[in-house]
Structure formats: structure tokens, C-alpha cells
Amino acid sequence: MPHATTRSLDGTVVAITGASAGIGAATAYSLVDAGARVAVSARRADRLDKIVEDLGDDKVVPVVGDVRDPGLSDALVKAAVDKWGRLDTMVANAGIGAYGGILDLDDDTLTEMVQTNYLGTVWSARSAVKQFRAQNSGGDIIVVSSVAGFRGGADEAVYAGTKHAQVGLAGSLDRELRAEGTRVTLICPAGTATEFAIGAGRTEGSPDLDAYLRPEDVAHTIRVVLEQPRSVRTTVWQLWSTEQQS
């Protein structure tokens, strides 16, 4: 009986936003382990430098900046193309969260969150599509969203709204770009034990985080999606740890 063959990631070129820690950093390490080359962006240069130090400057190129700036996504793609000649995948991972009721957070905090989580994803997708079309090739766009994009909690309405926006964006992009050979995948993890999850009474090392997903769990999911043969596409993947309520 024939078996499905996985797609090798050896030599593929991936851009990852929000790569200084958590899911983004874990994804960089996982994909390089699979043979990929990664262009990574974040606001913290020292964190990106550590990834380069660990994995090698032949496999990683860092770009420092804020994903709210559309120019950052273009610069990230350009860095990948300048170093390795092409782009195969964009992982739009950058995001921030904040807990509280609708009146609990100030205007600047909410504006930063909406722009980072939604517009940052839009800019990343646009930059990737421009490059895929310039190459006359398809590619992959992976949007790291959240299960909150389907049902937000009572203390995260604005955050959940940004995640719902990502869900809508990814679904529409998949329908727009599929004919060009570009797959758009939405990865929606539940709570993950990262710096992102600290808050609402949780601190680093908090036992509450023991039940959460690990960044490596989500990175593995991204790797599995990319290793699917090009004849297959996954549009939505939700994941929880076995101890989390779905």
C-alpha cells in the first residue's frame, strides 16, 4: 500500500516574526534542525543574536524591528532573499496579549496590541506574497493565532478580537492564494508556557503553567504542516495540552 511522502525542508528559506522567544524562537530552532534556513525578526537584538550564535550565521539572518512597521516585513523578506536567493515560507508569529475587561486597559496598550497582532500579520502576508509572485512560485504562509480566535474568555475581549481577525484573514487568504500554489495555514494553540502567558496571577515558574502547551509543541506543529507534501494543505489546526479544557 503506498504511503504519503513528507516534504523535505532541507534548504528551504523561512521568515519568522516575533522570533526572539517563545513559539517564534522554538520554531527557528526546529526548522533549522529540519534543514531550513531562517530569517528572524523581533524588537530585541540580543535575543536574535543568541539564536545566530546557537545555530550559525550561515543558517540564520536577524532583522531587528517592530512588526507594526510594514517596512520591517519587507526588510525581513529582503534579508532572506539577499542571503539565500528566495523565500519559501512566512511564519507570522509576532503577537502580544493583555488580560482585562473592556475598560481596564489604556488606549495605548490596546492600540499596540491590535496593530501588532492584526496589522503585523497583514504586513507579513503582503511582503511574502509580493516575493512569491516575484519568484513566480507558491509558498507557505503560517499565521500563529490562538484558540481565542474562536471563543475568547471574559478577560480578553480585545485580544480575542485580534485573534478572530487573524482567523478571518487567513481563511480569506487561503481562498485567494490557493490557485497560485500558496498554502495558508492557521495555527491556533491554547495557553502556551511562554513569556506571553505570564500575567493574571501567573509568574515565571508558576505551577499553573505546568498544564500549558510548550513552545516546542507549537513549533513541532508548524514543522509538520510544512513537511506535508505540496498536494496537501492544512487550513486550521487547533491544539491544546491533554490537561487543558477545550
**Catalytic residue annotation:** 159
* Residue 112, SS3 per DSSP: helix
Name the residue type at position 139. Answer: G
Q: Where in 135-235 does DSSP place strands (E)?
A: 139-144, 182-189
Give which of 12, 9, 77, 88 is closest to 39, Cα–Cα.
77
Coil, strand, or helix at residue 91? Answer: strand
DSSP per residue, 39-65 = EEEES-HHHHHHHHHHH-TTTEEEEES
**Straight-line distance from the first to the last Cα atom of the chain, in angstroms, rounded to the nearest whole number:** 35
